[in-house]
Structure 1
């Protein structure tokens, strides 16, 4: 009998601990952890193991959320809104006024052979020889190339760029250190993912190191869970 009672107590403790660890996503998509005043009142919910997991699944924070600083930082990154491409300028900029915008300047700088231009002024590159850092493939037609932002613009927005001036965001979007000539298909597959979520098929260590260098140059911030994932990814691909 005493043994049975002990089992019941242990089960109750485990259940209570498990319930306390649950983050509740309400039917309206709001993520409630124990710091939310609505936590106990939320009865119909989808459970998540962490606030970060709930936000990554498309949830959002309740108004006036007062979680810990580390959780708040992660949540802010995951739930930030207001991003648009125009926040980083209206397309590729021609900052030096030479008629070559930053896309074509990247193509010129990264071509391993002589480039050809469209008839007229040397503004638009129409041929060259590029070795994709994502695969090692040789590409001659620039129409098959996207200029990848190593640190994606939306990712940067969610990790600190939202507080920058528009001029600083435009510099970031056109910074040669953050631009790579790659296959259009892979650039679109990557989207706004960081290296903890997406890596190119080749040169993964170099990619992670370059991403990290650009991120640190612009003082973009990772949440504690992201820091752990980044460290694990770097260790795995760089040894």
Structure 2
């Protein structure tokens, strides 16, 4: 299966220093949002999307089935296979692949074929903060999030999948993002109706990623989730 990274918006632009907060008012009535919406303009500029990205997201969202959440009965992390398996068979487990992709100034452990990430810097898209990662007692300060949580997927179609498809889903790089550990814990198994990244400028890309993943894997959404995703896509700051 082709990775969803091939069809998602470009990765966020790195920044040398944290930009000051600049707010712009978007008239919610124009967007049908029921009121004014405050966005961080510079944060949005760090995560640009095109009109084509937004149109694709709307089309994919419209194609998703809308149903109630199925019972969580039977869900265990093990239902999605061994955690961080080497599904692409490059010799590195998925967690280290994602850390190497999402961190900058990466240092790897000698003798591991550049697989084991020892340290690096994360410019966290969920919170807009910068985190110095170092493997060891504080490793959990940076965690790898499933953009569409495994438990959420389980309740919206994945329990009907084969073991192999669930394993593929759990290790698909397009559904994985290195993020601040605390934000990942706060999100838990939440969908867009219950949790969105505190970094408001990233919410558009986050919504587009969730929609792309759910569309590719045939997962459904709840009505509240669909409305939340549509709202964030309508708020996207489009670049030429």
Question: 1:223/1:137 Cα in 2 relative to 1: closer, same or farther (>3 Å)?
Answer: closer
- 1:105 pairs with 2:97: yes
Report the secondary structure of 1:79's partner residue. coil
Q: Distance in 1 between matches of 2:180 and 2:227?
A: 29
- Assess if the C-alpha contact under 8 Å between 1:195 and 1:233 holds in 2: no
TM-score with structure 2 setting the length: 0.63
Equivalent residue for 1:117, pick from 108, 117, 122:
108
Q: 2:46 maps to what in 1?
A: none
Structure 2: gaps of 5 or more residues = 1-64
Q: Distance in 2 between matches of 1:223 and 1:110?
A: 30
- 1:159 pairs with 2:156: yes
Moved over 4 A (4+): none
Q: Distance in 2 between matches of 1:227 and 1:153?
A: 18
Structure 1: gaps of 5 or more residues = 1-69
Q: Distance in 1 between matches of 2:107 and 2:212?
A: 32
Q: Distance in 1 between matches of 2:147 and 2:81?
A: 17
Report the secondary structure of 1:180's partner residue. strand
Instruction: Summarize deviations over 1:103-130 as a string: whole Å, max 9, x none.
Output: 00011112233x2112322331011222
- Assess if the C-alpha contact under 8 Å between 1:132 and 1:139 holds in 2: yes
- Assess if the C-alpha contact under 8 Å between 2:84 and 2:171 holds in 1: yes
Question: 1:96/1:238 Cα in 2 relative to 1: closer, same or farther (>3 Å)?
Answer: closer
Task: Map 1:36-47 onto structure 2 (within 5 A).
Answer: none
Q: Distance in 1 between matches of 2:81 and 2:198?
A: 30
TM-score with structure 1 setting the length: 0.63
TM superposition shift of 1:229:
4.1
Q: Which moved more, 1:163-172 or 1:123-132?
A: 123-132
TM superposition shift of 1:181:
0.7
Question: Alpha carbon RMSD of aligned pairs, Å?
Answer: 2.1
Q: 1:148 maps to what in 2?
A: 145
Structure number with the bigger relative contact order (C-alpha 8 A, sep ≥ 6) is 2
